[in-house]
Amino acid sequence: MRTLRIVKDCMRSLSRFKLRTGFMMVGPLIGVAALSFVVALGGAAVNKLLATVQQLFGASSIVVSSGGGFFMGGPRDATRLTIDDIEAVVRDVPGIDTWDPMVVVPDASVRRGDRNCLVRLMGQSERAERAWSRGAERGRFIDATDVAGSARVALIGETAARALFAEDYPDGQDIQIGSVPFRVVGILERFGTDIHGMDRDNEIVIPVTTAMRRVMNVDSIRAAKLLVTEPADVEAVTREVSLALRARHRLAQGQPDDFTVINSVAVRQMVGRIERVVFLYIPLVTATSLLAALAVAASLMLASVNERTAEIGLRRAVGARPADIRLQFLLETAATTLAGGIAGVILGGLVTALVAARISLSARLGPGAIALGLALSLLTGLLAGVTPARRAALLRPSDALR
Amino acid sequence: MMIRLSGIRRTYVRPGGEAVRALDEVSMDIDRGEMVALVGASGSGKSTLMNIIGLLDQPDAGSYHLDGRDVADLDLELQAQLRNEKIGFVFQAFHLLPRVSALENVELPLLYSRRAAIEGLGLAALKAVGLADRARHTPGELSGGQQQRVAIARALVNDPDLLLADEPTGNLDAQAAQEIMEIFRGLNAAGRTIVIVTHDSGVAAHCTRVARLDSGRLVSDGVGPRPVAASQENS
């Protein structure tokens, strides 16, 4: 009863000092908003990454790319990986289930009548459907005959289809890639954006042989994907593939690889590292902004205690125990930072929704992020309130009233 | 005997390290129903004595019995409870919370009360000082005299036996001071024990007893100018 009355009085006090309450709320507001934002968006990004990685790599993939250096960018002295290389490796190394070569033109111009667009053009084999877990949504995928005969057939992604065809069904229609005419035989399965934010539906797939001979005029491939029979053997098979390729390329000992191999295990490790950064380090760094909020709240409350010395003396005179005074100042601080935290969660949620919509990522504030934000803002207030509350409670009433 | 002070000594240490004896061997008894003026020059120790009587400060030596209980035996919590239930304070500077209505100011002691039912007590106390119609006004909207009446209502809200007033008319004009003293006299006539710290002989003239302090010593203590009220005899 008595405590309840003190709590109510406390809330009234907060509205008496609007400016101070406002300033104290800003710190936790910004800190918690930033925290909820990075947790929600980072979480969504990692989930997206996981989904993409799962789709691209699964548990049993090895990707061999031409050129040494690093996965995703880095130096490449490109031209030495050939279909023959991969065929030989697959023949020599046991445990490989299937494989698919790949060439890429990042910006190929495609035309149909007076409509045209830029797409990512990929040359693949009939085995790509299994190797990359992506087939035809409608129509058919490319087949072995297409590849053997360098057929001018194409599967077209949804975005590209929308750009080139208004309402009519693209199947069986002709398009022109560069100056080469192709017949559309199917629509690619939807993919959405990948981890780089690239629209993977703005793609066209044609037989790898056609791409090399008729479009790009090259005899080497960009990369190849190998699926191993037993997921548990990925590491062992990867080592064998590397050795076989080095032998075929006649690389002496000490000479660096002129190709890059990455497998499911390495990708999983990379995802794990990213998860740790996104879910631990970034939130931790963001949460340190709450330390600044804590310092601000503590100093504002200390100033408030000094300014309200007479009030504290009066409260003691009319019957407040030191514990009541301590409770009052602790509550005032904690309620203020918690209110800031609540506002921060709302702001963080709004910003997350806005940004997520812009980059078409399905991010939203989960209960975990909300609970974390509120708990941290409350903790900030409790810690910030300790010293002011103690100082207020220790005042001797006769001194405070002087 | 309501208040029994014997051999009270209180020494302050100034920031420079110099010790100042604010009260030196003060002994006095105050009976239920008395209205006592503590007079003396500033620095004579009269406010310190009032603080000790009001349990806002503790003596360094000597003993203080309130209603027969040795105050030295009470912890801070019990002292707070006694202040809440038995003692009402009125200050020169009013000490009303700004931006808070008169009614909420009056209700402040009820916040710390053990009572469960507190409805209407605040308004009743305001009515007793003739300010029921100003309940929603904040101190800034009231005159000095009205503010002090709100402070008196606050002192009365828990129905205490003892009222302690430290220069209650010090910030008021003569007219308002007169009104305040009338209120105190009325409260005393109704049986409340009142101790007023003042250096104003006009205020002391309203009291039944005048005790004079000088440099921390009680130098005179005698029957005041006003005839002793009948209610004083029921101690």
pLDDT digits (tens, 9 = 90+) for B101-159: 999 999 999 999 998 888 899 999 999 999 999 999 999 999 999 999 999 999 999 99
- Counted across chains A and B, CB pairs separated by less than 8 A come out at 78
Name the band, by pLDDT with cuts 50, 70 and 90, for residue A1: confident
pTM for the model stands at: 0.77
Say what the pLDDT of residue A44 is: 87
Say what the pLDDT of residue B213 is: 95
Task: Write the residue in B77, B95, B113 that is nearest to A314 by C-beta.
Answer: B95
Asked if A319's CB is within 8 angstroms of B109's CB, the reply is yes
When pLDDT is averaged across residues A373-379 and rounded to a whole number, the result is 95
Share the mean pLDDT of chain B: 92
pLDDT exceeds 50 at position A273: yes
Per CB-CB distance under 8 Å, the chain A contacts of B154 are 318
Which residue of A314, A315, A394 to mutate against B (max B Cβ within 10 Å)?
Answer: A314
pLDDT exceeds 60 at position A360: yes
Quick one: closest CA in A to B154, which residue? A318
Quick one: closest CA in B to A310, which residue? B95
Radius of gyration of chain B (CA): 17
Chain A interface with B: residues with Cβ < 8 Å: 1-2, 5-6, 9, 12, 16, 310-311, 313-324, 396-398, 401
Say what the pLDDT of residue B230 is: 45
pLDDT digits (tens, 9 = 90+) for A153-170: 999 999 999 889 877 667
Name the band, by pLDDT with cuts 50, 70 and 90, for residue B233: very low
| Most trustworthy range by pLDDT among A158-172, A245-259, A312-326 | A312-326
- What's the gap in Å between the CA of B94 and the closest CA on chain A? 10
Which residue of B48, B82, B95 to mutate against A (max A Cβ within 10 Å)?
Answer: B95
When pLDDT is averaged across residues A331-347 and rounded to a whole number, the result is 96
Per CB-CB distance under 8 Å, the chain A contacts of B89 are 314, 317-318
Written as six digits, the tokens of A321 are 């125990």
Say what the pLDDT of residue A78 is: 52
Say what the pLDDT of residue A36 is: 92
Say what the pLDDT of residue A363 is: 82
When pLDDT is averaged across residues A178-198 and rounded to a whole number, the result is 87
Give the integer Cα–Cα distance in Å for A315 and A399: 13
- Determine contact, residues B92/B168, Cβ cutoff 8 Å: yes
Place of tokens 């409870």: B81
Say what the pLDDT of residue A66 is: 87
Min mean pLDDT across A122-136, A194-208, B147-161 is at A194-208
Say what the pLDDT of residue A268 is: 86
